[in-house]
Amino acid sequence: MQHPTLALIGFGAFGRLTARLLAPHCRILICDPSETACEAARQAGLTPVALPEVAAADIVLLCVPVPQLGQTLSALAPHLRPGQLIADVASVKSAPAALMQNLLPDHVDLLATHPMFGPQSAAGGTRGLQLVLCPLRGTTWRRPAAFLRKTFGLRILLSTPDQHDREAAFTQGLTHLLARAMRDLGPAPKLRTKSFDLLDQAFAMVRDDAAEVFDAVTRDNPHVAPLQARLAALLSPASR
């Protein structure tokens, strides 16, 4: 489709990154209950709309925190028209995928996604960054996926929601837990090694993420707790 219309529901940090990247390629509508977010959209030259107006969009991208997803989907469902592609960007996939399948009408296509990057990690460009896609219903996701791969150099990874959560528990959940733990231990000393500096740089990318992001990748992913328990056991003196 040429110059599609994209409706972003939620105009937080990731919604703003998405709008900045895609504004040259499609018409963008912003739907957010916050007047502050709507004003930020206007200042960026974008059009705020009410929820019923997302029916005009070819693609609807849900950029809301996981705890708000169910309520947002229920409110959105009556306004959707046949042929639309509905996608999310939540950091966990199993529960959001189930909500989308249960709450949205059968006449729309569904795609669960997880961009494995955010405003910080995309600051230097998107080439080589990973985008996980979990197709749930329909095939209209294929052309946008090809566009994102070609235009932004993203690495497209196909997965099921459960497989995503299993792997993300290791690569993302533990990273966030370790970053918070290192932060809460207190300021790092001046005596430092190169290996510590590299770890500190990695942890700096996520340790101050919003609370809803931290909760999503640690608490809402059911595969994190068993890994956390294994890590604690491996760190205990008894395991040595």
Structure confidence by residue, pLDDT tens digits, 113-159: 999 998 888 989 999 999 999 999 999 999 999 999 999 999 999 99
* Residue 96 reports pLDDT greater than 90: yes
Predicted confidence at residue 67, as pLDDT, reads: 93
CA distance 80 to 124: 36
What confidence category does residue 238 fall into, taking pLDDT thresholds of 50, 70 and 90? confident
For 148-204, write each residue's pLDDT tens digit: 999 999 999 999 999 999 999 999 999 999 999 999 998 888 999 999 999 999 999
Predicted confidence at residue 237, as pLDDT, reads: 78
Smallest CA-to-CA distance from 161 within 71, 86, 92, 207 is with 92
Predicted confidence at residue 207, as pLDDT, reads: 86
CA angle in degrees (0–180, nearest 5) for 131-113-4: 90
Predicted confidence at residue 240, as pLDDT, reads: 61
* Residue 1 reports pLDDT greater than 60: no
CB atoms within 10 A of CB 73: 21
Predicted confidence at residue 119, as pLDDT, reads: 87
Predicted confidence at residue 239, as pLDDT, reads: 64
What are the backbone angles phi and psi of residue 47, rounded to the nearest 5°? -110, 110
For 60-92, write each residue's pLDDT tens digit: 999 999 999 999 999 999 999 999 999 999 999
Encoding tokens for residue 151? Answer: 């235009």
Predicted confidence at residue 210, as pLDDT, reads: 82
CA distance 123 to 16: 13
Please say whether the beta carbons of 112 and 87 come within 8 A: yes
Smallest CA-to-CA distance from 112 within 150, 152, 168, 57 is with 168
Predicted confidence at residue 2, as pLDDT, reads: 67
CATH code given to domain 5-159: 3.40.50.720
For 199-218, write each residue's pLDDT tens digit: 999 999 888 888 888 999 99
* Residue 53 reports pLDDT greater than 70: yes
CA distance 118 to 129: 10
Residue with tokens 């709507």: 38
Predicted confidence at residue 177, as pLDDT, reads: 95
- Within the chain, all domains assigned CATH 3.40.50.720 are found at 5-159
For 2-16, write each residue's pLDDT tens digit: 689 999 999 999 999
Residue with tokens 């919604």: 15
